[in-house]
Chains A and B, each alone.
Chain A
Amino acid sequence: MTDAAQRLADVVRAEGRLVLATLARTTRSLSVAEDAVADAVETALLRWPRDGVPDQPRAWLTTVARNKALDALRREAARTGKEADAVRLAQLSAPDEPEPSAVRDDLLRLLFTCCHPALRLDAQVALALRTLCGLTTADVARLLLLPEATVAKRLTRAKQKIAVAGIPYRVPDAEELPARLDAVATVVHLLFTAGHSGGTTVVRPQLCDEAIRLGRLLVALLPDESSLQGLLALMLLTDARRATRTDEGGRLLTLAEQDRTSWDADAIAEGAALVQGALRRSRLAAGRFELQAAIAACHATATSVPGTDWADVVALYDALLRVEDTPVPVVRLNRAVAVGELAGPAAGLTALDAIAGLDRWHLWHACRAELLLRTGRQDLAVAAWERALDCAPSPPEAEFLRRRLAGTGAATHGDEPAAVVDHGPRGSQEQGA
C-alpha cells in the first residue's frame, strides 16, 4: 500500500463514521449517506495519490460526500417531484462546516438509530459495526463469522426499515433514555461477549477492540451515565486478561493457571478507576454493568486466587441477583463458585446444587466437577465432567474438559484453588445472539 493509500485508509476508518453521521442527519437516509461517503472515498483514492493528501482530509471528504449526496438527491427529486426532497436539499446545500459538538451530536443520533429496538438485535449489531465502527461489510461478516451475502442482506433490510418505517435520527427524550441506553449498551456488550466466547477460537481480538472502541465513544458522548462507565470498565478489565486466557497452543487456562504479571496493568488501572467512578455515581442503584465490572475489578486487582476478596465478590453477586433483567441462574452459578472459594468446596457445592435449570449447561457440570474433586469425590467429579462434555461445549472448552478429565487419574488436586475456567464475561452470555 502506498503512503497516501495507507493514510486514506486510516482517515476513512477514523473519520468516516463522523462524515457518515453528519450526512445521515442532513440527508435523513443512511443509504444515501453511505453511498455518498463511499463515492467520496473512491474519489479520494483516485486523487490523493496524485495530488497529495489534503490538509484537512475529513473536511475534504465531507465536502465531496455532501456534493455526491446532493447529486443523488437531485436526481431522486427530479424523478419523484417530492416536496420532502426539496427540504433535504435545502438542508444539504447549507455549506457550513459542522462544529465538533455538532458532529458529536450527529454521532449520538446515529448511535440511537442503529440501536433502535424496532430493529432486530442481529441487525443492530451489524449496523453498529458497519456505521459506528466504520468497517466494510466484508469485515463485519468476517467478525461475525457469517457469509458476506447474509450480512449485506441484513444491512440492506435494516437500512430500508429505518428509511421506510421512519426510525428517527434523534436522541431519545429523558423519559425514554434509560431503556434506550440499555439497548445501546446491550449491543456493545454483545459484540464484546461474541469476541470473547464465539466460534472455534477463544478470543477474536478485533471484535473486542471494536466493542471497547464503541464503549469509549459511549462514555465520551454520555459522561454522566454510570452504566456506560461500568460497561467500559467491564470490557477493559476482562480484556486485560486476554493474553493469558490461553497458553501458546490456544488451550484454555484456569484463573489459577494464568500468569497475572502478563495482565495488562494499564487497562486494569483504567478499568478499576472507571468502576470506582461508576459506583460513586450510581450509589445504591448500581446496575448490572457496574456490578459485573466491580466483580471483574476484584479479580483483576487481586494478587492471586486465594488473595482475592471473595467476601466482596459474593456480596457483589448478591447485589447482582437483586438487579432486574439479570440472567439469574448464570449469576447464581458464578456466585456458587465464589462461595466455594470463600467458605470451602462443600458450601460451594450446596450453593451450586440449589440452582435449578442448568442441567443442560456444561459450565454447571464443570463447576460441580471441580468442587466435587476438592471435596475428595473423584468418582463423582469424573461423572460430572463427562456430563459437561455431553452438553455441547465449544471446541476449546471441550478440549479443556477432556484435559481435566485425563488429569484427575494422575494427580489429586484436593486443595487446588479456583480450578474453574476463567468465566469472565459469561455472566450475560445467554442474553443475546
Chain B
Amino acid sequence: MPTYAAILYSRDADWTAPEESSTMADYGAFSAVAGPAVTGGAALFPTSTATTVRVQGGKGGDVLTTDGPYAEAKEVLSGFFLLDAPDLDAAIRLAAQIPAAWDGGVELRPVIPMTG
C-alpha cells in the first residue's frame, strides 16, 4: 500500500497555546478517525522559532544561518502526517478530514519506498 506524506500548511500558530486547544482537539479527532492509516507525523512550533541553514557555495562552504522559515508566507508548513492509503482517492478522503485542509491546505506527496 502506498504511503503518502500529508504536508500541512496553515496559519502560523503556537499549537501548544491554550487558545489552540479546540484545534488540537480537532486533530485528536482526526487521529481517532484515521486510526492505523496514520503511521507517523509531527506538529511544529511556529516559524518564529525556525532557523534556516544554508551552506554557501555548496558542500564544505560557509554555513549561513538566518532567523525564520525557508520561505515567508501567510500560510506556513505547520506539521505533517504519514498516511497509508490504498490509492490517491483514499488519501484525499483522509486529507479532507485534517483540520489544516479546512482553512489552509494539505499537500499529498507519495513517499518513495526504501527497500533493503
Contacts and interface: CB of A to CB of B under 8 A. Distances in A.
Interface in B71-116: 85-89, 91-92, 108, 110
Interface residues of A, number: 10
A165 B89 contact: no
A257 B4 CA distance: 58
A168 B87 contact: yes
B28 interface: no
A170 B110 contact: no
Interface string B1-29: 01010000000000000000000000000
A302 interface: no
Nearest to A118: B88
A172 interface: yes
Contacts of A269: none
A414 to B, nearest CB: 57
Choose among A165, A166, A167 the residue with the greatest number of B CB atoms under 10 Å from its CB.
Answer: A166
Contacts of A170: 87, 89
A174 interface: no
A167 B110 contact: no
A172 B89 contact: yes
Interface in B32-67: none
A124 to B, nearest CB: 15
Contacts of B88: 116, 118, 165-168
B89 A164 contact: no
Contacts of B108: 165
B107 to A, nearest CB: 11
B36 to A, nearest CB: 18
Contacts of B87: 166-168, 170
Choose among A118, A165, A176 the residue with the greatest number of B CB atoms under 10 Å from its CB.
Answer: A165
Interface residues of B, number: 11
Nearest to A172: B89
Nearest to A81: B115
A118 B108 CA distance: 10
Interface string A169-213: 010100010000000000000000000000000000000000000
Interface of A is mostly: loop
Contacts of B92: 118
A118 B4 CA distance: 14
A167 B4 CA distance: 12
Contacts of A176: 89
Choose among B4, B87, B108 the residue with the greatest number of A CB atoms under 10 Å from its CB.
Answer: B87
A91 B85 CA distance: 21
Interface in A212-228: none
A416 B15 CA distance: 69
A176 B85 CA distance: 18
A378 B64 CA distance: 69
Contacts of B110: 164-166
A119 to B, nearest CB: 10
A174 to B, nearest CB: 14
Interface in A142-170: 164-168, 170
A166 B110 CA distance: 8
A164 B2 CA distance: 9
B81 to A, nearest CB: 16
Contacts of A166: 2, 4, 85-88, 91, 110
A168 B92 CA distance: 12
Nearest to A112: B89
B71 to A, nearest CB: 23
B114 to A, nearest CB: 13
Contacts of B89: 167-168, 170, 172, 176
B111 to A, nearest CB: 10
Contacts of B4: 166
B88 to A, nearest CB: 5
A164 B92 CA distance: 15
Nearest to A162: B88
Nearest to B3: A166
A118 B2 CA distance: 16
A319 B87 CA distance: 39
Nearest to A164: B110
A178 to B, nearest CB: 15
A25 to B, nearest CB: 13
Contacts of A118: 88, 92
A118 B88 CA distance: 9
B115 to A, nearest CB: 8
A172 B92 CA distance: 13
Contacts of B2: 166
14 contacts: A164-B110, A165-B110, A166-B2, A166-B4, A166-B85, A166-B86, A166-B87, A166-B110, A167-B87, A167-B89, A168-B86, A170-B87, A172-B89, A176-B89
Interface of A: 116, 118, 164-168, 170, 172, 176
Given A168-B88, A176-B89, 8 more contacts: A164-B110, A166-B2, A166-B85, A166-B87, A166-B88, A166-B110, A167-B89, A170-B89
Task: Give the 8 A-B residue pairs with the shortest CB-CB distance, closest first.
Answer: A168-B87, A166-B87, A166-B2, A166-B88, A167-B88, A165-B110, A165-B88, A164-B110
